[in-house]
Every structure is written in structure tokens, then in C-alpha cells.
A and B are shown apart, each in its own frame.
Chain A
Amino acid sequence: MTVHRSILGLTAALAAALLPAGARAQSITLTHVESIYADAKKGALKAPEGVACTESGRVIVADTGHARLVAYAMKDGKLGGGTAIPLPEGAQPVRVQIDGKGDVLVLDRKTRAILRVGESGAATPVEAKGAPAKLIPASFKVDGSDRLYVLDGASRAVLVLDRDGNVGRKLDLPREGGALFTDLALDAAGTIYAVDGVNATVWAADKSATAFRQISKKLEDVMSFPAYVTMTPRGALLLVDQSGNGIVTIGVDGAFLGRQLAVGWEDGLVQYPAQICLTGKGEALLADRNNNRVQVFSLH
């Protein structure tokens, strides 16, 4: 019986080793629920490139083409509200995050600054104290302790700033193959995941790491130019393939798990999607830039 069981175990282990990595983990499915085309005053959205959401139902959209933010509220799976929050003239809000205290942080592509935005729209640039050079943020994320993780083009590094803006950690970004990093994501254990859009690869650095290590092979067969990444509650990485018009899921071991959505004009299809956020209650909101809308999907 023991011999029988050990042979069975060996067979199972070999079979598991032979199975493709994707078959060992779960993918996600996005089902279209609704699309948001306008604010509360029926003012149409224009080229929105950012969307952030919280579990409490707060949703902030970066209405990039109109240099403003728009605040919505998610209730019972439906999106309501739509209050415009004006930003300084000429601003180009592109990435939005909401920190633990409810502050809205937005990347302004025009001034190349991360702004902390109050409800009135008063915007204060985040100062990085101790940065090697003036920041050129390409993207950023905020963790549970309100630390800011900035993907900085100037220093070609990820800089970790405390709430007062002090740079506490600097992790150089790899330069292999003409890499151009487009975004980063964080997990609960403090691991930083960085996405190289040019080579369609994902890199990771543990909490105590001093350098990034490549976790995925080149995924150019399944995505064209990943521009944004976020972590799912199940611990997978959700990548927005901007040029490829889709959402790609990969495991934290770098294995490809699946691909969702396709190019098109109708609801449920996308054109150059920019940012995705997860409410934590089973919804995913996607800033669908070239379709001038935000789409709400249920996440399975």
C-alpha cells in the first residue's frame, strides 16, 4: 500500500511538473455591467486615463481630456453621482490612487508631478525629499501605510517615499533590452512588481531586495504594450495591455493565466485602455481612453 501511494505521489508530481504553469492557477473573467459616459451634469468624458476605487464605493475618474477629476459612488453594484473636481488649467491627470486617509493622489502628466487633491480641487504637489534628481514620475502606487512608490523616469528607479515625502528606499530599474517601465504594483507582503512595456516582462523585488529580478519571460505573444498593473484579491497580477486592447492576468510566478476583452467601440470592448481598479467587492472599473468612457465589469 505504501509503495502504491508513493508511486502515485511520484506520478502526480511528475504530471504536475509537466502541466503548463497557466493550468495550475486560476484566471479571471470580466463581464460587462455598465459604462459611464458622462458626469452628473451630462458632460461627456473625454479620453479618461485614470480610475481609482475603494471598497467603500468611492470612485475617482481622471477625465484627462477635460483636465479634471470626476467623483462617482458605487452602490449596490451601480455607479452614481459624477461630481466634477476641477484641476489647475492645462493639467493632464492620468493615474489616480486613493490613499488610506481618503486623499486623492493624481499624476499630472503636464507638470510631471504627483498631486494630492482635496475635494475642492486644491492640488498640492508631492515633494520628494532626498531624491537623486527632480522627479519625472511615470507612475506611482500607494501602500497600506500611505507610503508612495514612485516609478521615476529621472533616476530610472522606484523611489519609496513616506507620507512626508522623504525618500526611504531606492531600487534601480533594470535596463536590459531597452526596457521602459510603465507601472508597478504592490502586494500585502511588500513585494514590488514592475512592468516593462517594451519587452512585455514583469519584474519583482521583495521587501528587503536590493534589485529587481525578472519573474516572467517576454510575454509579447500575449500582450503588446502593458501600461498598467494591479494586484487582484486572489494574488494574481492584472495587466492593462494598452496597445493590444486587453487585460492580461499573470501569476506572481510570471506564468500567463489568461487574457480578456478585445478592441472595439461597443460596450464591453475597449480602445487603448489606461487604468483598471478593483473595488474589492467583485467589480473592476476600466478607464477606456479612446472610447471616452469608464466601463464597469464584474470580476469572477
Chain B
Amino acid sequence: MTPRSFLRAAVALGLLALAAPGAGAPPAAPKPDAKAATRQKLKPGANGALCLDCHPQFSDRLKMASVHTPVRAKQCTGCHNPHASDHGKLLSATGGAACAACHAGTVPAGAKSVHEPAAKGECQKCHDPHASATAGNLVKPVGELCASCHQKTAEAAAKAKYKHAPVEKGCSACHLPHASAKTAALLATDVPDLCLKCHKPDRPTFAKKHMGYPVAKSRCTSCHDPHGSNQNGLMYAEVHSPVAKGMCNQCHEPPGSAAGFATKTEGVALCNKCHNQQLATMLDKGRVHRPVLEGDACLTCHSPHASRAKGLVKAGGTALCGGCHSESVKRQALSRTKHQPVLDGDCAKCHDPHSSNAPLMLKPAITVELCGTCHNYQKHSSHPIGEKVVDPRNPNLTVDCLSCHRAHGTEHEHMMPFPKTTDLCVKCHQDMKR
């Protein structure tokens, strides 16, 4: 090999390094080309009109209230290639990439929250690329459109005894449809500034309702449901007793104190003032869930003021428990057979979220008993299980439900650890192996 060929190899390796993933930005989608028709040497007046010869259904769509600009200009070639394409419907690029060619910046770089369809480039979930009866080329009127995915929120808002006026005006009164550069939950402005656009904290009634506490800088949504509620004052369904009774000073320093809104003590010590019996029961067990005693303690999982969920928990199990135990959520998502409590995010059905004497924080400790609370196999014939049946694979184990199933699921049917039932059975019944 000559020095020159070595040099070539070195340069090639260097180029390879530059071409490695992450080394450069992905290529941008081609921009819809207004001059494409000219370049394609279409007959005079053929631009768009020619397409309509074969696609006459678009004639009616051109009369709709909201027509996408390139469609109105009959620049079909702006998004479609008339001859061939690597993408469906002869598009010049795939899905959102075609739209982003003109609508770049719809999702700001580093946005704090991004609407899932926008993040996935699924623009057509909300917009009709050609024309629609709704402004913004939306496939449905705003409220109806949002409700098609956010059904639970929409239903709860519709049924709520006390309505929040902006909800009646539509979701876009508070939320941005694509992304929010600086706020969570696609909010146009963060809470409380968003709320303070309508609610004036300097009004005497406002101050009285809030016991004179300086709540103007607090997070209103820690107590109030912005989508409507059956509770007076738009409070969440579950309200912490001292809050419901207006006894804020049970936990906080008195209003107007030098310490401001500070709590009287911190962490678990504050909750222990009222919940000492519960806490004592928790701490009496062999395993205490670490968040109970560490960091924000009870407030890691519970809201101190109000919540939509029972027990004042901040969210359902999938989101709340999954925040730390993401592997369990992932495992269930990949499982062919779903275990109902895991699917429902009802982790507390099997696990005690505070403490337990059993490994895995199970309640009760004996698996056969635990599974038996839902599965009635004990009432009919079953494989021998229980404390007297030793697992042939391990002399220190007895046969129970987890001898054959994994509670959070597997990639195989019936949450079994092997693809075929026989694969599982012959692990113990080796004489049956063929």
C-alpha cells in the first residue's frame, strides 16, 4: 500500500466519522415548488386544471370555506409529483415532512410541550390537506376535533355542574394546537398568568375565598379543575380535608406572615401531624417505599390540596408509578396478553404503594392468595400449587402462579415465559420431554 492509499483510507475514515448518526442534521424535505408546473412544461392553463380532469371530486372541494393555499392556486405539483414518488399518494415527502416544507417552525425547537400528532408529523389527523368546511382546514370544528382524542376530558367538561367559561369557547382559548415553547400541557401562557388574564386577585371576594393567602403566584390548577367541576369553586373532585374546611393554616403559616406561604414543617413531618396512625402502620412494615420517607415524601405521589383521583394521588398508576418503574409499564405494553390491573394502571391492586412485609411490596405476601382475589382457579381443578408443592427447579421454592406466569406480561400468550406451553411444562416434567 502506498502512502497515498493510506492517506485516502484515513480521509475516508474521517468522512465516515462525519457521516455517523448525529453528526449532521437530517436532510430537509423539498419545499413545494411553485415553479414546478413551469419546469414540468405543462400546457398553458393545464396547471391544476389538468389534474381535475381525472380528479373531478376536487372541483367541489375547491368551493369549500377553507381551501389550502396551494390547492386554491391549483399547484397540485406543490405537494404531489405527477409522475412518480417514493411516498404514498405521489407526495413529494412523507406526511408531516411535506407540510413542514412550508409550515416550518410550527413546532419550535426545544418546545416544552408538543401535541402528539404534531410531534409524529401526523398533520392529517387534524387538518385536511386540501379543503374543509372549518377554518384552518380542520377536519372537524375545534371542540369536536379535540374531543375525538380527549374524550374523557370533553365528557367530564360537558357533564360538569360548574362550567369554566373558556372551555365553552373552545380548547384553543387556553391551549395551543401544535406546541408550546415555554409551557407544559400546550398552554398558551403558563399558570397562574393564564388564569390571571381573567381572574383578578386584588378583588376582595377573591382574597376572601383564598383566606387572604397570596395565591396570585401559586399554581391555580393544584386545587381547581380548569375544565369544569361538580364542586363549587371548580375544585377537583377530591379535596384534602383542611382545604375543604378553609383551614389552610393547619399546614401553612398564617396569611400575611413573614414566611409567606411556607408550610409549618417540611416533608413527612408535616403530614405526620394528622396522619400519624397511617404513617406508624406504614413504618411498622419491613419494606417502606422509598418515596414515603425521602425527598418530597408524601408529596411525591399525593397532591396536598385537591386531585381528580381518590386518595389525592397526582395521577393514575401508569403515569405516577411508571415515572420511576418505567420498565414495568414497558413490559406490559409489549405483552401479548394484558393483565387487567396493569392495563388499568391500578398498581395498588397487587402492590402496597406505602409499605409491605413481602418482596415486591405485594399485598398479601402469598402469591396464590393475591392472585386468588381475582382469579377463581381455587374453586375448580388446577395444577397443584401452594406451600406444600415444591418446585422441581428449585428446592427453596414452592409452586405458585408466578412459577408459570409473569404478572406484568411477556411477549408470549398468557403471560408465560416461553413461547409454547410445552416449553414451560417440560421445565419441570422433564420425563415428558420429547
3 A-B pairs with least C-beta separation: A292-B396, A224-B327, A153-B294
Q: Does A15 contact B (CB under 8 A)?
A: yes
| Given A18-B16, A37-B396: A3 and B3 interface contact (C-beta under 8 Å) | yes
| Given A14-B14, A15-B13, A180-B324: A293 and B396 interface contact (C-beta under 8 Å) | yes
Q: Does B44 contact A (CB under 8 A)?
A: no
Closest to B410 in A: A263
Q: Does A45 contact B (CB under 8 A)?
A: yes
Q: Does A225 contact B (CB under 8 A)?
A: yes
Interface size on A, residues (CB 8 A): 44
Give CA–CA (A293, B393) in the complex, Å. 12
**Interchain Cβ contacts under 8 Å between A and B, 18 examples:** A7-B3, A10-B10, A14-B14, A14-B17, A18-B17, A37-B396, A109-B286, A112-B293, A136-B294, A153-B290, A220-B326, A265-B391, A265-B397, A265-B403, A272-B359, A292-B394, A292-B396, A293-B394
Q: Does A98 contact B (CB under 8 A)?
A: no
Give CA–CA (A109, B284) in the complex, Å. 11
Give CA–CA (A249, B241) in the complex, Å. 50
| Given A45-B396, A266-B394: A92 and B17 interface contact (C-beta under 8 Å) | no
Measured CB to CB, the closest approach of chain B to A40, in angstroms, equals 16
Measured CB to CB, the closest approach of chain A to B350, in angstroms, equals 15
Give CA–CA (A156, B395) in the complex, Å. 40
Closest to B326 in A: A220
Query: Which residues 1-50 of A sit at the B interface, judged by CB distance below 8 A?
Result: 3-4, 7-8, 10-11, 14-15, 17-18, 37-38, 44-47
Interface string of A128-159 (1 = CB under 8 A from B): 00000000101000000000000001101000
Give CA–CA (A220, B10) in the complex, Å. 35
Give CA–CA (A3, B294) in the complex, Å. 62
Give CA–CA (A50, B395) in the complex, Å. 20
Interface string of A264-281 (1 = CB under 8 A from B): 111000001000000000
Closest to B417 in A: A263
Q: Residues of B contacting A17 with CB < 8 Å?
A: 17
Measured CB to CB, the closest approach of chain A to B367, in angstroms, equals 11
Q: Does B262 contact A (CB under 8 A)?
A: no
Measured CB to CB, the closest approach of chain A to B356, in angstroms, equals 11
Q: Which of A112, A272, A291 contacts B394 (CB 8 A)?
A: A291
Q: Residues of A contacting B395 with CB < 8 Å?
A: 37, 44
Give CA–CA (A291, B288) in the complex, Å. 22
Contacting pair B10 A11 (CB below 8 A):
yes
| Given A18-B20, A153-B293: A92 and B14 interface contact (C-beta under 8 Å) | no
Give CA–CA (A251, B327) in the complex, Å. 23
Q: Does B328 contact A (CB under 8 A)?
A: yes
Q: Does A290 contact B (CB under 8 A)?
A: yes
Query: Which residues 71-120 of B sit at the A interface, judged by CB distance below 8 A?
Result: none
B residues with a Cβ closer than 8 A to A are: 3, 6-7, 9-10, 13-14, 16-17, 20, 286-288, 290, 293-295, 323-328, 359-360, 391, 393-397, 403, 417, 427
Most chain-A Cβ atoms within 10 A of its Cβ — which of B9, B323, B328?
Answer: B9
Give CA–CA (A300, B188) in the complex, Å. 58
Give CA–CA (A244, B328) in the complex, Å. 10
Give CA–CA (A265, B402) in the complex, Å. 11
Most chain-A Cβ atoms within 10 A of its Cβ — which of B290, B393, B394?
Answer: B394
Closest to B360 in A: A272
Q: Residues of A contacting B393 with CB < 8 Å?
A: 264-266
Q: Residues of A contacting B397 with CB < 8 Å?
A: 265, 291-292
Contacting pair A243 B328 (CB below 8 A):
yes
Give CA–CA (A211, B245) in the complex, Å. 45
Closest to A175 in B: B295
Contacting pair B391 A243 (CB below 8 A):
no
Measured CB to CB, the closest approach of chain A to B325, in angstroms, equals 8
19 additional A-B residue pairs with CB within 8 Å, beyond A178-B324, A291-B397 = A4-B3, A7-B6, A10-B10, A11-B13, A18-B16, A37-B396, A46-B396, A92-B286, A92-B287, A153-B290, A180-B290, A225-B325, A243-B327, A243-B328, A265-B403, A265-B427, A266-B393, A272-B359, A292-B397
Give CA–CA (A224, B327) in the complex, Å. 6
Measured CB to CB, the closest approach of chain A to B100, in angstroms, equals 28
Contacting pair A136 B327 (CB below 8 A):
no
Most chain-A Cβ atoms within 10 A of its Cβ — which of B6, B7, B287, B427?
Answer: B6
Q: Residues of B contacting A44 with CB < 8 Å?
A: 395-396
Q: Residues of A contacting B17 with CB < 8 Å?
A: 14, 17-18
Closest to B1 in A: A4
Give CA–CA (A136, B417) in the complex, Å. 37
Q: Residues of A contacting B293 with CB < 8 Å?
A: 112, 136, 153-154
Closest to B16 in A: A18
Contacting pair A154 B324 (CB below 8 A):
no
Q: Does A198 contact B (CB under 8 A)?
A: yes
Give CA–CA (A46, B16) in the complex, Å. 54
Q: Does A110 contact B (CB under 8 A)?
A: yes
Q: Residues of A contacting B6 with CB < 8 Å?
A: 4, 7-8, 11
Contacting pair A156 B294 (CB below 8 A):
yes
Give CA–CA (A278, B326) in the complex, Å. 30
| Given A7-B3, A14-B17, A265-B397: A244 and B286 interface contact (C-beta under 8 Å) | no
| Given A136-B293, A220-B326: A14 and B10 interface contact (C-beta under 8 Å) | yes
Measured CB to CB, the closest approach of chain A to B355, in angstroms, equals 10
Q: Does A259 contact B (CB under 8 A)?
A: no
Measured CB to CB, the closest approach of chain A to B30, in angstroms, equals 31
Measured CB to CB, the closest approach of chain B to A127, in angstroms, equals 19
Q: Does A289 contact B (CB under 8 A)?
A: yes
Give CA–CA (A209, B7) in the complex, Å. 43
Contacting pair A225 B396 (CB below 8 A):
no
Give CA–CA (A138, B287) in the complex, Å. 12
Q: Residues of B contacting A10 with CB < 8 Å?
A: 10
Q: Residues of A contacting B391 with CB < 8 Å?
A: 265
Closest to A44 in B: B396
Q: Residues of B contacting A90 with CB < 8 Å?
A: 286
Q: Residues of A contacting B10 with CB < 8 Å?
A: 7, 10-11, 14
Give CA–CA (A44, B398) in the complex, Å. 12
Query: Which residues 222-276 of A sit at the B interface, judged by CB distance below 8 A?
Result: 224-225, 243-244, 263-266, 272
Closest to B6 in A: A7
Q: Residues of A contacting B394 with CB < 8 Å?
A: 265-266, 291-293
Contacting pair A178 B323 (CB below 8 A):
yes
Query: Which residues 76-133 of A sit at the B interface, judged by CB distance below 8 A?
Result: 90, 92, 109-110, 112
Q: Which of A4, A38, A156 contacts B295 (CB 8 A)?
A: A156
Q: Residues of B contacting A11 with CB < 8 Å?
A: 6, 9-10, 13
